[in-house]
Amino acid sequence: MKQSHLFTKTKKEAPADEVAKNAELLIKAGFINKEMAGVYSYLPLGLRVINKIQNIIREEMNAIGGQEVTLTALQEKATWEPTNQWDDAEVDVWFKTKLKNETELGLAVTHEAAMTKMLKSFVESYRDLPVNIYQFQTKFRNETRAKSGIMRTREFIMKDLYSFSKDEAEHNEFYEKAKEAYKNVFKRAGIGHLTYLTFASGGMFSKFSHEFQTITSAGEDIIYVDESKGIAINKEVYNDEVIANLGLSKETLVENRAVEVGNIFTLATRFSDALNLKYKTETGEEKSVFMGSYGIGPGRLMGTVVEVLSDDKGIIWPESIAPFKVHILELGDDMEVKTTANALYATLQSKGIEVMYDDRTGMSAGEKFADADLIGIPYRVVISPRSLKDGGYEVKKRTEGKGKIVNIDELTEILNG
């Protein structure tokens, strides 16, 4: 990508009504556009990041046997009535509408009931189980107040996986695999060191559900962390009994503010009972399918990364989800500089390295440096009369204060390292 061709531009200010750091930085850097409160569009740079996050999640879900589908956002009233979730007293965030013939529809807030209903067409026998299905799908929630930038919105992409097992033992086996897959996702996305498996309320289905909470002052939750064991307890279930049950000690638990970036929980047979999803055992007995639910919001994960991996200059993207790996900055109007920069751009592309090239004219070096820091691509390569005089290209990481002069072979080794 040549930056002169990128239709978005950096901004000096975010919208006056935007207070979340993640949204302020992403808007100023040209990754997202705010359409209205709680609704954001992903622009070219932002879409590259969200796609990389989704690909990490997809790889981890596939690795534990997940199969990807896409269900509809439009949901029938009849799908949700058996679990009472059409009732606003039970679920108060529906966007509801009607067809021209007065048939009531809703824009999906989640998909447990819809997935269960679909499985009735494919599950009859124990031989048809287990099934683990996931999707990346747009959800709509009519929140009273949207806040926290892209971490809590009214329209968002959700990865929701649903497991369908013969019994609790089979469910638990998959559940443990899902725990590890989620840990891998957050590690690969660059925030594993700040994210803890957190014990939370399991409701009526199990003793606990499990959240994945990332430490940040922007978080809405309070958790108590045992750093040596890498686990935490949500404030909602924090008491002496739970602490003892988990083999923890109050003395080792540290209170932190955090944001939930993922969750997994047991559904048991709530949905399969309500929607009559049953299977026949080897002996012909009819049993309800045992279910689990596993969610991650890629946009929320993206916003959390920005909250915790940024500085006073801008965003600091992990290499795994950065829109590009290297940012070439051409400084000055010297023809040798332009020729060298264009040649480097072509060379890096030929080596399969993702590169953005700031070829814009009429800008000072300070303006280009400020934009590069704001956008936050992991490596910056400066080509200027000074760098050429010193024998090559000046390369530095986004997190480093000073660069060094290297030749093409050294640069390639650094970028492939």
d(CA 274, CA 268): 12
Spatial contact of 317 and 323, defined as CB atoms under 8 Å apart: yes
* pLDDT of res. 33: 94
* pLDDT of res. 14: 82
* pLDDT of res. 374: 97
Q: The domain 326-416 is classified under which CATH number: 2.20.25.570, 3.20.20.120, 3.10.20.30, 3.40.50.800?
A: 3.40.50.800
* pLDDT of res. 205: 60
Could you count the other beta carbons within 10 Å of the beta carbon of residue 133? Answer: 20
Residue intervals in the chain for CATH 3.30.930.10: 21-311
Q: Is the pLDDT of residue 19 over 90?
A: no
The torsion angles phi and psi of 159, rounded to 5 degrees, stand at -95, 110
Average pLDDT, the chain: 94
Percent of the chain with pLDDT over 70: 99
The torsion angles phi and psi of 175, rounded to 5 degrees, stand at -55, -40
| Contacts by residues 369-372 (CB-CB < 8 Å, ≥ 24 positions apart) | 369/329, 370/313, 371/10, 372/327, 372/329
Buried b (16+ CB within 10 A) or exposed e, 209-225: bbbbbbbbebbebebbb
Mean pLDDT value of segment 160-178: 97
Buried b (16+ CB within 10 A) or exposed e, 341-367: bbebbeebeeeebbbbbbbbeeeeeee
Q: Is the pLDDT of residue 29 over 80?
A: yes
Q: Is the pLDDT of residue 96 over 80?
A: yes
Higher pLDDT, 332 or 105: 105
Written as one letter, the residue type at 337 is: V
Position 15 confidence tier, pLDDT thresholds 50, 70, 90: confident
d(CA 177, CA 164): 14
pLDDT digits (tens, 9 = 90+) for 287-334: 999 999 999 999 999 999 999 999 999 999 999 999 999 999 999 888
- Parallel/antiparallel/unpaired status of strands 355-358 and 326-330: parallel
Which numeric CATH code is attached to 21-311?
A: 3.30.930.10
Mean pLDDT value of segment 236-253: 93
Higher pLDDT, 203 or 47: 47
* pLDDT of res. 204: 59
Spatial contact of 304 and 216, defined as CB atoms under 8 Å apart: yes
Residue intervals in the chain for CATH 3.40.50.800: 326-416
d(CA 118, CA 343): 54
What's the pTM?
0.95
